[in-house]
Structure 1
Amino acid sequence: MRFRPTQEQRALTAAVRELLARHLPGEALRTAADAHVRAGAGAAPRLDRALWKALGDAGFFALRLPEADGGVGLGLSEAVLVFEEAGRALVPGPLVATHLAAGAVPGAATGDTVVAAVDGTLVEWLDAADVVRGDTSGATPLTSVDPLTPLHAVPGPGAPEPDPVAVLLTAAEQLGTAARVGELAVQHARTREQFGQPIGAFQAVKHLCADMLVRTETARAAVYAAAVTADRADIAAARLLADEAAVRGARDCLQIHGGMGFTWEADVHLHLKRAWVRARRSGGGTDGEEALAADLVA
């Protein structure tokens, strides 16, 4: 099987990256996060409806819908590539929930309707959603570590079986963050100087950057392969690897940046906070480990 993206898939990736760079530059992201923090804990971040509609017009949410139903007619492999770019750009909003609702919820495919969904005991962007899938009775707001991902806790008897596609798309978002923080770490290591030379010349920094690359490429191979096989065990393994690559990569990137990484002029801390939140979604952590264990026993 071939896991390397085709020329058409690379063109799709480039187009999505260009679209997100145009509609969501880094400065806008940091400004939105800073504005939310200044507004106080009780204020919810605002969802950018213009960006949401632009994603809908570009076919982001309708990517896997058949052309006969008004969709783009592509597959899970293309969806993974697109969500990787969304993770790289830290696009705020319930992307996975709205993508999965395309074709089932009117307006979701075109970006006219924002769809949130209960994920285990949590729901993201509850107040900003037009439609919420799942029972949110008794939902209470939580203080989210990520200033651009509002969270609500939902009481319930227990988490349902995770949707494999949702698990894989979350892994793709984590892969995007892992790749981006690796780039940020290398850029900073090349330009930041101490003792008259770039810090990238020091062995400890070299090792951090090398470890980030290894984790990212290992996760990339697993995520791309799972998109082809669509096997539950492959998806579980890909998610575990992608969560680790994103969280540990962002932490290592923050260490390379030092104190600057915690400031609003840097994106590093935003990637770390988003990676923490994504890792709490269904299918990661214990869920993924249990899925792999069940597959081994079977």
Structure 2
Amino acid sequence: MSAQRLDGKACAAEVERALAKRIAALSDDGIVPHLAVIIVGDDPASHVYVNSKVRTCERLGIRSTHIELPADTDEAVLKDHVEKMNHQGDLHGILIQSPLPSHMDEEAITDMIHPSKDVDGFHPQNLGRLVQGRVDGLLPCTPSGVMRMLDWAGIELAGKRAVVLGRSRIVGMPAALLLAARGADATVTVAHSKTEGVETICLEADIIVAAVGRPEMVQASWVKPGAVVVDVGINRVDDTSRERGWRLAGDVDPAVEDVAGWLSPVPGGVGPMTIAMLMENTVRSAELRRDLGSE
């Protein structure tokens, strides 16, 4: 058996087609969705991610502002940028590319972003809504992308056993909350670095979401035949057989393809969906601003 492909590129393309109609409707009201991205430092991977987001904005007709700051920028300077953007009326989304330099308090800076412009979905107010079971706000992009991809594939979640590997506020915990929320209704277990017997726990799962940042950690022996496996990980591993000396690997071993019923590829799985949901959050923020203005 070879797993069916959870094709993030195809699903993201469908999301973009729907967004194009919403962007056109905003344009009819004289509104252009506007996303600002701030990057601090010269991390190559971060610049690749930011450029991909900017290109997607251009393709969809979303205005983007791209601010690059040197790695030794004082934290107060970054906070000043955020504060000004919070009050900028024609700006709908603010994204600060992670990671920030070690001298900056990333969580505190993220918390400064106004909740209505928090298109990453990490502000305590937006995460708090999710804890309350409300999924109508600005949701963290990667977990909401996972959910959209599962829905796109027609995968039934209600009553199923789901295991989320990882408990970060960026992916693991929000993914668990979304899987357990009304309408999804999965029974969720969160496993982490202190969890004992993780292999046995995974073997009982109908759905596994791997988000631990450990290359190829999930082995075929951990996966129940026919299970759905979503690989959120993207890791750079040494590979002397490649001209560049490395390759990208997920958190799931390639051999899982022979056991799982569905498997998301790396790359081409969750990554495109994360960007698609960022665009959706930006459009949603613009729509909410429009609707508030018309009341």
Q: TM-score, normalised by structure 1?
A: 0.29
Structure with the largest fraction of helix: 1
Structure with higher RCO (Cα < 8 A, 6+ apart): 2
Structure with the largest fraction of strand: 2
